Amino acid sequence: MKRQLLTIALALSCFSFNGFAQWGGGGWGGGGFDWGGGGGGFNFGGEGSGNSGNIGDYQKKGDIDYVGDNHIGHKLDVYFPKDDGKATHPVIIHIYGSAWGSNNSKGSADLGTVGTAALGAGYIFVTPNHRTYQDAQYPAQINDIKAVVRYLRGNAQELGIDTSFIAISGFSSGGHLASLMGTTRNVEKDYTVGSATMDIEGNLGKYTNESSWVDAVCDWSGPVDCRKKSCGNPIQMAPENDMVGGCNDQQCPDKHALLAANTFIDPTDAPTMVAHGSADNIVPQCEGKIFYDDLKAAGVDCEYYPHSGGHGVEGSLTGDMIKFFNRIKEAKAAARAEEETNVASVFSNKQNICIDGNRLYLCSEGAEATDFELIDMFGKILSNGQLDANGINISGLSNGIYFIRLLGNENTKLIKFIK
């Protein structure tokens, strides 16, 4: 569980007024907009993100209900790469931009840029809908995206997903949600700032025993942190106020803090690529730079790609996104392979584990109690403490593959087991 902050006052007025015409006009309540609807409505793709390309060349499974409630905001599409002989493929999820105001824009989620780049590189490409602030108040939107990841893990065999690497990308408000996924991946449930407590994980769908962990993030022009507004856009409009019940950051600073991805930053966050244009007149470029600087200061693996474009996915950088994701994926695979084979001699022929029902315990003759870490397949530490002949209760684990890391004075031993 991450640290609990006493209070943070964030000014999260993220969208600048002089970009209003690009959003369509007519107010944030939806009365003057066509927010999407089957991909045929307003396209929030912005400059450089037009959905051209050959997305139609790829097999698609559409309108999957990832929660099971038949809500339009809980549907997703899955696109599959060309057959390369592999049984499974890693995943890139991409979230559309809509100022959190569309619950049905998955059909225009930068398919011709991010989508074709992902599929061409051998990734399964997933575009989810999510609920709007009119459908439900925050944190409903991040609850939805976490449910997407859990659904994909729970249906990995059917969809051919390699769950060892799931990355997430997003444009504009989608970039905000993608960034939140990266900075909250170790927030198990509730998080408190001052007087406000929110359930960040949620309990949507039937795969609540699965992990919502993401391995890497790409943020395209996301309004992730507006504590500093110094890019020459002093007049602001604030759709994020509607996310938390209509109050601004002065009236309810704690709720706004929980809306900001930067609030949750710590060294365990997902590696993150940030791309933001200097000509962006909707979300100032400084927000991307602030996010990058904060991640870097915390020791998070991150890369920053400033460019001269406007508010949108910069198509020329999608190759850099793939390189970034590939680097993280390959490093994770190499680290896991090294860890699995690095069995320390200090434990050889001394320590072994046994499972009896829901009890996991040391069962080697003469074995002494030792510190341990229980780790899932995604590298997340689920519990730690001391392991001895009395054992630990693993009834809370869903069926699957896990690791016990036994910690010696100088060396460690990693043991894989199946529940």
Answer yes or no: do 301 and 356 share one domain: no
Answer yes or no: do 332 and 349 share one domain: no
Beta strands of 138-286 (E only): which ranges?
Answer: 161-171, 190-193, 196-199, 216-220, 236-237, 272-277
Q: What is the mean pLDDT of residues 369-373?
A: 89
Residue 36's pLDDT is 32
* HSE value, Cβ hemisphere, 13 Å, CA-based, for 115: 29
Answer yes or no: do 207 and 73 share one domain: yes
Residues in CB range of 287: below 8 A, 6 or more apart: 14, 222, 223, 224, 225, 226, 276
* HSE value, Cβ hemisphere, 13 Å, CA-based, for 254: 12
Q: Is 3 part of a structural domain of the chain? A: no
Answer yes or no: do 136 and 251 share one domain: yes
Domain termination site, one of 336, 358, 373: 336
Answer yes or no: do 279 and 381 share one domain: no
Q: What is the mean pLDDT of residues 124-140?
A: 98
Q: Is 116 part of a structural domain of the chain? A: yes
DSSP type of residue 5: B
CATH number of the domain residue 207 falls in: 3.40.50.1820
Answer yes or no: do 62 and 203 share one domain: yes
Q: Give the whole-angstrom CA distance, residue 223 versus residue 220.
A: 9
Q: Give the whole-angstrom CA distance, residue 169 versus residue 276.
A: 13
Q: Is 6 part of a structural domain of the chain? A: no
Q: Is 159 part of a structural domain of the chain? A: yes
CB atoms within 10 A of CB 59: 11
Residue 408's pLDDT is 72
Q: Is 1 part of a structural domain of the chain? A: no
CATH number of the domain residue 356 falls in: 2.60.40.3080
Q: Give the whole-angstrom CA distance, residue 100 versus residue 85.
A: 39
User: Does 418 score more than 90 pLDDT?
Assistant: no
Q: Into how many domains does the chain fold?
A: 2
Residue 350's pLDDT is 53
pLDDT band, very low/low/confident/very high, at 410 (cuts 50, 70, 90): low
CA distances from 302 to 252, 325, 333 (A): 31, 11, 18
Q: Give the whole-angstrom CA distance, residue 385 versus residue 373.
A: 7
Q: Is 8 part of a structural domain of the chain? A: no
Residue 351's pLDDT is 62
pLDDT band, very low/low/confident/very high, at 18 (cuts 50, 70, 90): very low
Q: Give the whole-angstrom CA distance, residue 127 versus residue 175.
A: 13
Answer yes or no: do 280 and 388 share one domain: no
CB atoms within 10 A of CB 24: 16
Answer yes or no: do 273 and 357 share one domain: no
Answer yes or no: do 394 and 298 share one domain: no
Answer yes or no: do 304 and 410 share one domain: no
Q: Is 280 part of a structural domain of the chain? A: yes
Answer yes or no: do 287 and 363 share one domain: no
Q: Which of 357-361, 390-394, 397-401 has the highest mean pLDDT?
A: 390-394
User: CB-based burial of residue 222 (10 Å sphere; 0-12 exposed, 13-18 middle, 19+ buried)?
Assistant: buried
Q: Give the whole-angstrom CA distance, residue 37 versus residue 58.
A: 22
Domain range for 76: 15-336
Q: Give the whole-angstrom CA distance, residue 104 versus residue 248.
A: 26
111: helix, strand or coil: helix
Q: Which structure tokens are listed for 223?
A: 């309004």
Query: pLDDT tens digit string along 58-117?
Result: 999 999 999 999 999 999 999 999 999 999 999 999 999 999 999 999 999 999 999 999
Domain termination site, one of 319, 336, 353: 336
Query: pLDDT tens digit string along 183-228?
Result: 999 898 899 999 999 999 999 999 999 999 999 999 999 998 754 4
Domain termination site, one of 306, 336, 366: 336
Answer yes or no: do 313 and 381 share one domain: no
Q: Is 227 part of a structural domain of the chain? A: yes
User: Does 21 score more than 50 pLDDT?
Assistant: no
